[in-house]
Amino acid sequence: MQTAPPPTGLWKQTVKDYLVQRIEPRYLAPIADLTKLNRLRGEGFSVATIQCALIEFLAALRAGENYKYKNPDINNFEYKNSSKLFTEFLANQAPFSNTFTAAAAGDFYRDIRCGLLHEGQSKNGWLVKKGSRAGVVVDWGSPCILYWENLQDAITAYLKQYYRDLEIDQSLQSAFIRKYNHLSTNAI
């Protein structure tokens, strides 16, 4: 017997009660607070680091997968390779896919995400700057430049579309439930 999908209104409330309540205080509010400083004295590195953590969470949420370092069970929606999850998300999900090919997403993962999270620096000459009037997230010239305000705009656009899609897409709903079931039993 196939059950009817929950009404759209229930998913709107779910987004508000669970997703927004998780990402607003943990990711979006700290980014907004750092942005308000407007000192241009390195806060962009902190913002980009938080953005990378948020992107990885959003990628795992969309897939309904949970990180497990030792012996992940792909049949149980577990992953160990965050590189694959992160880069496929950037290369395949709008609006990020407007900026990132698979190869470019790999460079970003290695030189920005891993550089910032593991070493507190960008790698291979990448620069992190506040914003571009042209609205680009990354200038792929030499050196490559990440514009963190433009990346934040892309994250905001993604979230708005994801919220709408979650109301009607049963595969996204199933992935969301898997992720939040895991979070409710394993996270604070």
Record the tokens describing residue 173, joined without a space: 């709903």
SS (H, E, C) the chain: CCCCCCCHHHHHHHHHHHHHHHHHHHHHHHHHHHHHHCCCCCHHHHHHHHHHHHHHHHHHHHHCCEECCCCCCHHHCEECCHHHHHHHHHHHCCCHHHCCCHHHHHHHHHHHHHHHHHHCCCCCCCEEECCCCCCCCEECCCCCEEEHHHHHHHHHHHHHHHHHHHHHCHHHHHHHHHHHHHHHHHCC
Query: Can you give the pLDDT at residue 100?
Result: 98
Q: pLDDT (tens digit, 9 = 90+) per residue, 38-90?
A: 888 889 999 999 999 999 999 999 999 999 888 888 888 988 989 999 999 99
104 near 138, Cβ under 8 Å? yes
pLDDT for the residue numbered 155: 99
At 33 the pLDDT is: 96
Could you read off the pLDDT tens digit of each residue along the chain, which spans 188 residues?
455 566 668 899 999 999 999 999 999 999 999 999 988 888 999 999 999 999 999 999 999 999 988 888 888 898 898 999 999 999 999 999 999 999 999 999 999 999 999 999 999 999 999 998 899 999 999 999 999 999 999 999 999 999 999 999 999 999 999 999 999 887 66
Query: Is 0.85 surpassed by the pTM of this model?
Result: yes
pLDDT at residue 21, as a whole number: 94
Our CA dihedral for 132, 52, 117, 66, rounded to 10 degrees, sits at -170
